[in-house]
Every structure is written in C-alpha cells, then in structure tokens.
Structure 1
C-alpha cells in the first residue's frame, strides 16, 4: 500500500517517536525500523537497553489524520524482538515439585483443596477389618488386628524398645536436621498415620509423597511439608525492577518495512 503525504511524514518522524520515549523516562537506542500500520499509522522500533530484557525493542505508534499535519503518539510499548530473552511458561508450584525436592528449612504448604486431606470431623474410613463378613463388625476386626490375633508370634517388649530407639535416633527422629528446621511436628500433621499398639503415641508412618513417604517417623519429627504449614506470601527481591508488559499484545513487525 502506498501511503499518502501524511503517511510518508509519519514514516520519517523518527525524532518524534524518540522524543516520546525520552519524555516517558526511557533511554532508547538506535532506530531499527518503521512499519506502516494502516493508512494513517506507523510503528517505530528502537533498541531497548533495559536490564533483564535482552533483545527487546521499544515500539512507538504514531498516528495522523487527513487534512492535518499534526502527529499524535498513539501507543508506546516494550516488545520482544528476534532472539529476545523471554520468561518460560509459568507452571504452578504444585506441578513442579517432585518427591525428594524437600530439604531442611523448606516450606511446602498443602493446597487448601488437596484431595489427600480432609477435615478432622469427617470419617475417613481409616479402620482395620479382620474380614468382610457381615457377621464380623469392623470394630471387632480393629481390636483383633491390634492385639495380633491370627499371628503365631508377636514382637517382644525388648524388640519393640530396640526398634523405637533406632527410629528415634534415625533420619526421621526429632534430632535430625530436617526436624530441627521444622516449625510443626508430625503428631499434628494430616499426613501422619499413627502406629498401632504400644508405639502409637510415639511413632507413625508418613503418607506425604513429597516428604518421608512410607517411612516410620517419630511423632515429634517434623518437616516443611506439614499439612498445616502456611503457604509463602510470594514476595521476593528481584535483581531489577520489572517492566509491566503483562497487558501487551505481542505482534510481529512487517518484513518489508522501510527504516
């Protein structure tokens, strides 16, 4: 499309576009190109020298109207250019975290709607049934299972004490590095499954796949993935101030534009 006289003036109005950026407090670099955006609009592109925005460009859209020599600054935006540094697609934290990522001092809050947790007033069906026969109530099966009925041999008090001491002094005991850095203990965690019998007050099994999943943990052990740990506020300390480009529509410049 051949632009009329006013359109040609817009193509040549590099100084007007640069002045608009300077007035906005920016420091544009070299002029890169001028691209017609219709009969009465032209986009001017300049190098952008902003920390953290390598390869980005300033774009200033100038507009005119038939019958007037006035040039209006229509839009001023920062756009990515060829080979510019772009942020990767955002992925929610709960889709990035995998088992084994948790380390001492880390905080891993469970999502409020985490299907693995229910309020404590809800019957979660956590019971042991000796059989599924209708004439054997579940509560009787629970008692029979905890007493060890049906097994030929049971753990002696000495054997139980030895195991308790190992677990207490081990990786998932209250003296471990992870427990020392935790604000909450396992005894109050929704992922904590208490053991049966005499060891019930002191030990349980962790059911959190991101923490000590499947391991016997002490009731006073703890980690940053406790079910009640509050989520981080999201505040941070970026090295540079971010330029607000979140509301911009990214468009490609014409390949046959003249500068």
Structure 2
C-alpha cells in the first residue's frame, strides 16, 4: 500500500492512462495536469484534454487503494476546469415563453406609443395594416389546426397567442351546427 496520496497518484498514473485509453483515443489525452485528494482518501488525477470543442476541460481519473489491495479505478470523466466553456443553465419552456410574450407586449406598446407621439393621427398606411391584421386573424382561424399538448414542436409561437380566438370560433361553429339540426 502506498503511504501518501502523492505516492498513490505517482504509482497509479499508468493505471489512470490505461483507463482513459479504454474510453477515448490516446490522441485526446494530454500531459498530466496535477491531482487532488478527495475526502474519502481517493485521488483524482487530471490530464489535459485535446478534444476539439472542449477548451479548458480535463480528463479526470479517480483511483483508490484499500488496505493491501491493488489500486483500482473508481471513475473516469471529462470535467470543466476554471474558465472552461459551459452551457447556460436550463430554463423551463414556460418561463422562456412568458419572457417572449412579455417582450412582444413591450414591443407592441412601444409601437403604439411611437404612432401617437407627434399628436397626429396615424398614417393611412397604419390604418391599412390594422385592417389587414383583422382579415389575417379570420383567415388563420380557418387554416390553423387546434394545438394539443404534444404538438408544440415546430409550431410558430405567434400561433399560440391566437389560441383564445380559436376557442371562440369553435363555439361559433358549434352553435351553427345546432341551428342546422333544427
């Protein structure tokens, strides 16, 4: 048995490299980059990573030696170092959608404020845009499919805002059917 964690790290360097070469090509493993002693007495040996796209990451192999037995590999992993590029924290879809809708409402409010800032009535062009929006809404009711819980992938977010209008048109359709049955 090795007497200190430093001795264990030195004695198990080849064992750690062999474990790494089982999961990744030797060309992706760089030179030794130190080691840390874990609370349990195990030692984590670090090696520079040469995988493209992972700058600042290290291959880490954790080894331990219990009593008089041979050292053994506990874990092999790719771990980020200081300054490594990391993915942002995950944000649930409902929160992202709420942020999107709030931003869209803010833009609409800014557009309305910008149209009446000079005290003049809106231009004729803006009236035409308003009229065409109303026509577009009625056309969308005829064309857009009803959304179901599993149908959100690939759906334009703006369609979700019109879901209340879709419900109203369905009620109108139901009342038309009742009239026809008489």
- Return the TM-score normalized by structure 2: 0.54
**RMSD value over aligned CA atoms?**
3.5
Query: Is 1:19 aligned with 2:18?
Result: yes
Residue 93 of structure 1: how far off its partner (Å) = 2.3
Of structures 1 and 2, the one scoring higher in RCO (CA 8 A, sep 6+) is 1
Contact 2:58/2:80 (<8 A) preserved = yes
CA deviations over 1:130-176 (Å, ceiling 9, x no partner):
xxxxxxxxxxxxxxxxxxxxxxxxxxxxxxxxxxxx689713434xx
Residue 55 of structure 1: how far off its partner (Å) = 1.4
Q: Larger helix proportion, structure 1 or 2?
A: 2
Counterpart mapping for 1:113-132 below 5 A: none
Contact 1:167/1:173 (<8 A) preserved = no
Determine the structure 1 residue equivalent to 2:85.
85
Residue 95 of structure 1: how far off its partner (Å) = 1.5
How many residues are matched?
A: 123
In the aligned structure 1, how far is the partner of 2:46 from the partner of 2:147? 51
Q: Greater CA radius of gyration, 1 or 2? A: 1
In the aligned structure 2, how far is the partner of 1:64 from the partner of 1:30? 23
Distance 1:226 1:91, change over 3 A: farther
Counterpart mapping for 1:106-185 below 5 A: 170-174=132-136
Could you list the runs of 4 or more consecutive aligned residues of structure 1 that deviate by over 3 angstroms after TM superposition? 6-9, 166-169, 224-227
Distance 1:95 1:34, change over 3 A: same
Task: Mark the runs of 5 or more structure 2 residues left unpaired by the alignment.
Answer: 106-127, 155-182
Distance 1:16 1:95, change over 3 A: same
